[in-house]
Amino acid sequence: MSEIPVLCFPFAGAGASAFRRAQEYGSDTVRICPLQLPGREERFDEQPFTDVPAAVEDLLPFALDLVAGSPVVAVFGHSLGAVLAYEMAHRLRRLPRPELVRVFVSGSPGPWTRREIRATGMSDEDFLRQVRGFAGYTHPALEHPELREMLLPALRADVEMHENYLAASSESLDVPITSIRGAEDELVSAEQAAEWKAATTAGCDLREVPGNHMYLIDSPAELVRLMAAELAPKAMR
């Protein structure tokens, strides 16, 4: 059995370190490979993107470096990360190698559903209140004025990128999709999570895990176990 690299795209405002705890859980099947958007952590000095296709084009060479030498790859994204993962999946399918074997989307309606309630353009306080309402979660650093000033540009850019996103193409993937949501998620309904069925011709599995919209913060091990179970048949080839 060999590990399958899973390219991981974080939620709005987060960096690659959001997947650090997931990386700590050992698996013979899954190798967690977080991707870093500009405007945070080691790419802090770079201008963040407000456009999903542009962000994915930027991340593509980093993604290929992370999975170099592997014959297969999977992608995972949560909330904003789900649409980034979906767009990356389309780009990977155009390449001869590696073979994309599964797309994991989490905490997200389908790629043709645009968020109706928006936060872009609001004052800082109203913006943060709205985002907190979206996610049911706020990073502790946002409570500190100096850290908030550093983190807000990337968070604002990510939220704008997510709110403006609508899949430009009606073309479906020919790769299986697993759509995941927290069972107590009040932001994304089970019906919305099921919208991903229309995004693939290869079948879509719907999975619920314990927790709310940000279940992966509290239960990264549950997420790794789920991905490992889904990918095990491919890892055994």
Residue pLDDT, tens place only, 130-150: 777 666 556 665 666 666 677
Q: Which of residues 200 and 160 earns the better pLDDT score?
A: 200
Q: What is the pTM of this model?
A: 0.91
Q: What is the pLDDT of residue 136?
A: 56
The confidence score (pLDDT) of residue 132 equals 72
The pair phi, psi for residue 188, each rounded to 5°, is -120, 120
Contacts of 165 (CB under 8 A, 6+ apart): 52, 83, 111, 114
Q: What percent of the chain has pLDDT over 70?
A: 86
β-pair type (99-106, 72-78): parallel
Domain boundaries, the chain: 8-63+72-183
pLDDT band for 113, please (50, 70, 90 cuts).
confident
Q: What angle do CA 55, 157, 76 make, to 5 degrees?
A: 50
Do the Cβ atoms of 7 and 88 come closer than 8 Å? yes
Euclidean distance between CA atoms 105 and 185, whole angstroms? 14
* Residue 5, φ and ψ in degrees, nearest 5: -70, 135
Residue 179's identity, in one-letter code, is S
pLDDT above 90 coverage of the chain, percent: 59
β-pairing, 30-34 vs 72-78, is unpaired
Q: Name which residue leads in pLDDT, 130 or 30.
A: 30
Partner residues linked to 106 by β-bridges: 78, 180
Query: Other C-beta atoms within 10 Å of 39: how many?
Result: 21
Sign for the CA dihedral angle at 123, 124, 129, 133 comes to positive
- Mean pLDDT confidence for 164-176: 87
Query: Which tokens in the block code for residue 236?
Result: 């055994």
Q: 213-228 pLDDT, tens per residue? A: 889 888 898 999 999 9
How do residues 62-105 score in pLDDT, each as one tens digit? Answer: 999 999 999 999 999 999 999 999 999 999 999 999 999 999 99
CATH number assigned to the domain with residue range 8-63+72-183, chosen from the 4 options 3.30.479.30, 3.40.50.1820, 1.25.40.10, 3.30.360.10:
3.40.50.1820
